[in-house]
Amino acid sequence: MPEQPSGRIAVLISGRGSNLQAFIEACKTGQLPAQICLVVSNRADAAGLQCARDAGIEVACIAHTDYADREGFDAALVARLQQAQPDLVVLAGFMRILTPVFITPFAGRLLNIHPSLLPKYPGLHTHQRAIDAGDSEAGSTVHFVTPELDGGPPVLQARVAVGANDTAYSLAQRVLSVEHAIYPLAALWFLQGRLTLDQQGAHFDGQKIPACGLQYPPPLAADSAAGH
C-alpha cells in the first residue's frame, strides 16, 4: 500500500507537462508520499492541464496576458497558490520569468528543473548549445529558485552522454527521461526535510551541497535498496 500523502505540492506549467506526469505517477505509486494540491498554467492550451484533470487534480489557469506587468501576474499567482497551501512549489516547464513578488513568499520551498548541467547554459536552447560546443555530456539540474534566472543553488543533477548523431530533439528526449527520475526524488527529499536552503546555500542532511548539485544516481540509492 502506498504511504498516505504527507506533503502538498503545487506544480506550475506552461506546456506539455511530462514532468508533471512524472510527479502524478510518483504520487500514485507511493514513491512520493504527497498530494498534488494544485496545477497552475499561464496558458489555457497547456497539454499538461489535461493530465492534471485526468488525475482529478485541481487546476487553475492564470493568463500572464491579463496583467500589465510581471509583478501583477506574480501577485495573482501568489494569491492563488496561497489558497492551496502548498508545502512545496515546483516549476515544471513554466515559461515565465518570475520576480521577487513571487519568489520571496515561496523562498526555500520553490524548485525548478533546467535542462542543462548548470551552471552551464542557463536560459534557452540548452541542447543545441551543448551540441554546438562539442560537449560529451549533457543533462538536467534541479535547483532552488532565486531571483537570478536559472542561477539558484543546484540540488540534484543527472548526466547523459551526447552521441555523435544527436540532434537537439534526440538529446532533449534522453535528458527528459532522467528529469522524470530526479525531479520527484528532489521533491521527496524536500518533503522529508532533508533538503534545505539558507543564506549559505542548499544543504542535504545538513551538509552543504556541491556547486553542481548532488549527482544522480546518489550513493544513498544503494542504502535505500538495502532497506536502510
Beta strands in 62-216 (DSSP E): 88-91, 110-114, 137-144, 154-161, 195-198, 201-204, 207-208, 214-216
Q: Which of 7, 10, 11, 19 binds ligand GRF (CB under 6 A)?
A: 19
Binding-site size for ligand GRF (CB under 6 A) equals 15
> x/- binding map, residues 118-157, to ligand GRF, per CB under 6 A?
----------------------x-----------------
For residue 182, CA distances in Å to 32, 51, 88, 115, 194 come to 12, 20, 16, 12, 15
Find the binder of ligand GRF among 115, 153, 184, 213 (CB under 6 A). 115
Residue 157 and residue 118 in contact, taking contact as beta carbons nearer than 8 Å = yes
For ligand GRF, the closer CB: 181 or 220: 181
CB of 141 to ligand GRF, least distance (A): 9
Q: Measured between alpha carbons, how far is 152 from 164 in angstroms, rounded to an integer?
A: 31
17: contact with ligand GRF by CB under 6 A: yes
64 is a catalytic site residue: no
- Residue position matching grid coordinates 493530465: 51
Site residues for ligand GRF, window 79-98 (CB under 6 A)?
A: 92-93
Does 113 help bind ligand GRF (rule: CB under 6 A)? Answer: yes
- Residue in this structure with the C-alpha cell 544522480, named with its chain if needed: 216
Q: How far is CA 171 from CA 29, 163, 207, 217, in A?
A: 28, 8, 32, 19
Instruction: Please report whether residue 159 would count as binding ligand GRF according to CB under 6 A.
Output: no
**Chain residues in the site for ligand GRF (CB under 6 A):** 13, 15-19, 48, 92-93, 113-115, 140, 176, 179
Question: Which are the catalytic amino acids?
Answer: 114
